[in-house]
Amino acid sequence: PVGRDEDVEELSQARTASGITELLLARLGGTAEAAAPAPAPETPAAPTATSASPASPASESAAADAVVVAPQRLEFTETDLAELSAPALAEGTTVTVLGGGALGTLVAEQLREAGALPQTVPDAQQLPEHVGEIVFLLHALESPDTTLPDTFPLYQAVLAAGPRRLIAADRRAEGAASGLRGFFRSVDREYEETDATLVEVGTDDAPETVARLLVAELGATEGEPVVVAEGGRRRALTLTPTDLGALAATGAGPAGDGVA
């Protein structure tokens, strides 16, 4: 159509938004002033603290009805478990007993009586090519001062072998914790294909008693990752909320006079 070339040329020369707006208004018969946006309405200033309205009765009632809960913490408490007898294993069940010295020999003997085929490995660090369906790890009883970082590669190799059942023994005594409690709780969550249990025996328990407790644990059905079996009595560890006491509730420090 006539005049389109001139329109295109004028549009191409309009370099700014305002220039394009003026060109469109001229073509539509309007004015630039008509397209100017109306000034934004003034926003009322926020009320100051002195002019704030008083709290409503509903909010005051809600504040009055608020429940204040005293601070708590989670502590391990012992829960009794059922006593176990020697389990009946399937004939020919393959079991590996790692470490333990004379205790490892006693465990192997009881496993044979239950129908299993155990192999003993005196050096717990030398993992055999095939560990079988069940693994007993007694290394912590031989080396009570060994910490978890030292034995972690061994546990890692055992879990990678994929046994159906893993039972480790630890002798709970005074002093620094070995770290195995938390480790076995993590294993219980992360390795669903392996039923892993840490059995803590007493410092005064005889080797024959310990061997019986460890083998009997194969018949457990509770699925507890940590079992305290000191003195032959089985207990589970349960996290229980407990109060912090008057010291924490009042904010008093060690002196008991309110000074932290």
Task: Say how many residues make up the chain.
Answer: 260
Which residues is 171 bridged to in the sheet? 201
Radius of gyration of the chain (CA): 38
Whether 47 maps to a domain, the answer reads no
What six digits make up the tokens of 218?
């194969």
Give the pLDDT mean for 250-255.
58
Whether 43 maps to a domain, the answer reads no
Give the pLDDT mean for 152-179.
87
pLDDT of residue 33 exceeding 60, the answer is no
Could you give the C-alpha distances from 226 to 78, 197, 218, in angstroms and in order?
A: 11, 6, 13
Whether 135 maps to a domain, the answer reads yes
Cα–Cα dist 26/20, whole Å: 10
Counting runs of H as helices and runs of E as strands, what totals does the chain give?
A: 10, 8
93 with 193, same domain: the answer is: yes
Whether 255 maps to a domain, the answer reads no
CB proximity list for 65: less than 8 A, separation 6 or greater = none
150 with 231, same domain: the answer is: yes
Q: Look up residue 27 and give its DSSP letter.
A: H
Which pLDDT score, from 0 to 100, does residue 123 have?
A: 81
Could you give the C-alpha distances from 127 to 78, 100, 118, 119, 136, in angstroms and in order?
A: 34, 14, 14, 11, 12
Indicate whether this model's pTM tops 0.75. Answer: no
Tens digit of each residue's pLDDT (9 = 90 or more) over 117-165: 999 998 877 889 899 999 999 988 888 777 888 889 999 999 999 999 9
Dihedral sign of CA atoms 189, 104, 162, 113 in order? negative
Which amino acid, 252? A
pLDDT of residue 109 exceeding 80, the answer is yes
Which pLDDT score, from 0 to 100, does residue 8 have?
A: 63
Share of the chain above pLDDT 90, in %: 45
Position with higher pLDDT, 59 vs 240: 240
The domain of 20 spans 4-30
141 with 202, same domain: the answer is: yes
114 with 218, same domain: the answer is: yes
Residue from 134, 188, 139 nearest 166 by CA: 134
20 with 131, same domain: the answer is: no
Count structural domains, the chain.
Answer: 2
14 with 102, same domain: the answer is: no
Whether 107 maps to a domain, the answer reads yes
Task: Determine contact, residues 92/114, Cβ cutoff 8 Å.
Answer: no
Whether 133 maps to a domain, the answer reads yes
CATH code for the domain in which residue 228 is found: 3.40.50.11460
Give the pLDDT mean for 199-224.
94
13 with 87, same domain: the answer is: no
22 with 114, same domain: the answer is: no
Residue from 210, 200, 190 nearest 235 by CA: 200
